[in-house]
Amino acid sequence: MKTANGINLTMLCDFYELTMGNGYWKAGYQDRITYFDVFFRNVPDEGGYAIAAGLEQIVDYVQNLHFTEEDIAYLRGRGMFDEEFLQSLRDFRFHGDIWAVPEGTPIFPGEPVITVRAPAIEAQLLETYMLLEFNHQSLIATKASRICRAAEGRTVLEFGSRRAQGIAGAVTGARAAFIGGCAGTACTVSDQIYGVPAAGTMAHSWVQMFSSEYEAFEHYCKTYPTNAVLLVDTYDTLRSGVPNAIKAFNKILKPLGITKCGIRLDSGDMAYLTRKARDMLDKAGWTECKITVSNSLDERLIRDLIRQGAKIDSFGVGERLITSKSSPVFGGVYKLCAVEDENGNRIPKIKISENIGKITNPDFKKLYRFYDRETGQAEADYICLREEVVDDSKPLTICDPMARWKTKTMENYRAVELQVPIFLKGELVYELPTLPEIKAYCAAQMETLWPEVKRFENPHEHYVDLSEQLMALKDEMLHNAGKRRSGETEK
């Protein structure tokens, strides 16, 4: 896979992934099977949930992993790579396994969202790009979900391309925003590539181009009579903008029998102006005319506008969505959790830190979500060792993630494995859903979360518990780590 400017994305990796790969080769570890988890530690905006996104781009990347002769020549020129290692890159491809939760799934801190099982060099090389896509798109999908929930059913459009962090930030950002609930985007190429509906009307420059505001509106209505949305705040919203819009609607649209149209405001006191504009439009008979607003909006401003009685039908949200301005880093990580020895035996691995939040969960794991059979609500998530099987016909006691002495007994619940196979032995085994299917799945899954988890202030923390076996393994490894000395091998 290459970018628009011809870069081989296999080389979009941290340099240490290549130096480690070379080191694994020289140590004879190139075929050693490793297990890595992708997870995140904190929900953006101190929210109660996040949304997984970016899997489709990760699949495309894995399918197209390769090194060109130019790439190999560049690495040789660095003078630090073994020639046999460089020669092996000519036939490089992915041979491993990947499991992941489907895009659009609500996810929570510490959960293995993606798991990679592959030879050491292959698994290591995936880290940068996999995190890039997962972190970026999950961040934007999560922010979009918050904004769309604040809009309370009103249409939200993503308008942020010109403020995005680069090309990919705009293009895949619009895709992620659609997954999170946005109805469309201003980014044309996202429609062309991914089918995110592109929409747009006019800028202030259109109005300024003509000799009068009314003339600008009249020409636009003649050009796009079935999609006439007029920007009414170039000069004076209530004294000229709305009256001139009504005048143009009356002259051009009314004779055609068209009653659906719109106005947009991009500045001023939105609550006051939209109430006044709504009254003016209704008195003129344009009750079906929709009011759209834009201008540095986010979920909190949208919620406040609605509480103030603003008469708004749709929102155009730009920079604060496409950059997740209030919380711009997702913080997903890629951590080793197990290694197979020469005989194929799995050896759990754990990362230990003085920062408790950075201690990892060891070994090859599964992730379950428990749903109440009567209400369909998601009650808890459960991480266990891969060999464990949850029998949801039997009660199960889980612990509060923040206070393990507080327990909850699950009864009459349905246990669903969240991760699904994506690649097995290097072959894609997952049928990628369409973008509208991902969006619909996300909306359905969001309905399973308790309102307390979705609130903006002090959200309830969704239970994410470790099985007794996994917890015992983690405790044992933490205990043994205190006894180990530098250079000793694990027993």
415, containing H or E segment:
strand 413-417
Choose the final residue of a domain: 287, 322, 357.
322
Distances in whole angstroms, Cα of residue 197 to Cα of each of 166, 171, 190, 214: 20, 12, 8, 29
Same domain, 33 and 83: yes
Residue 231 has pLDDT above 60, yes or no: yes
Same domain, 421 and 467: yes
Residue 258 has pLDDT above 80, yes or no: yes
Same domain, 186 and 95: no
Alpha helix ranges (H) inside 151-233: 166-180, 188-194, 204-209, 213-223
pLDDT value for 482: 66
Same domain, 51 and 156: no
* Domain contains 46: yes
Same domain, 315 and 336: no
The span from the CA of 164 to the CA of 336, in Å, is 32
Same domain, 294 and 428: no
pLDDT value for 402: 65
End-to-end CA distance of the chain: 43
pTM: 0.95
Same domain, 304 and 356: no
Looking at the structure of the chain, the number of domains it has is 2
Q: What is the DSSP letter of 13?
A: S
pLDDT value for 217: 98
- Share above pLDDT 90 across residues of the chain, in percent, rounded to a whole number: 92
Residue 460's domain spans which residues?
Answer: 9-140+330-366+417-481
* Domain contains 270: yes
Same domain, 229 and 288: yes
pLDDT value for 476: 94
Over residues 367-391, the mean pLDDT reads 96
Residue 3 has pLDDT above 60, yes or no: no
Choose the final residue of a domain: 259, 292, 322.
322
* Domain contains 169: yes
Mean pLDDT of the chain: 94
* Domain contains 384: no
Same domain, 33 and 108: yes
Same domain, 131 and 161: no
* Domain contains 295: yes
* Domain contains 184: yes
Least reliable range by pLDDT among 26-35, 217-226, 480-489: 480-489
pLDDT value for 486: 46
Asked if residues 58 and 129 have their Cβ atoms less than 8 Å apart, the reply is yes
Express each pLDDT in 71-82 by its tens digit: 999 999 999 999
* Domain contains 403: no
Same domain, 304 and 430: no
Tell me the CATH number at 311.
3.20.20.70
Q: How many CB atoms lie within 10 A of CB 458?
A: 9
Least reliable range by pLDDT among 24-33, 280-289, 362-371, 421-430: 24-33
Express each pLDDT in 85-144 by its tens digit: 999 999 999 999 999 999 999 999 999 999 999 999 999 999 999 999 999 999 999 999
Strands 290-293 and 262-265: parallel
Which residues of 227-344 form beta strands (DSSP E)?
Answer: 229-231, 262-265, 290-293, 314-317, 332-340
Tell me the CATH number at 117.
3.20.140.10
pLDDT value for 405: 72
408, containing H or E segment:
strand 407-410
* Domain contains 213: yes
Residue 29 has pLDDT above 80, yes or no: yes
The span from the CA of 483 to the CA of 491, in Å, is 11
Strands 413-417 and 365-372: antiparallel
Same domain, 57 and 132: yes
Structure tokens at 248: 């143009």
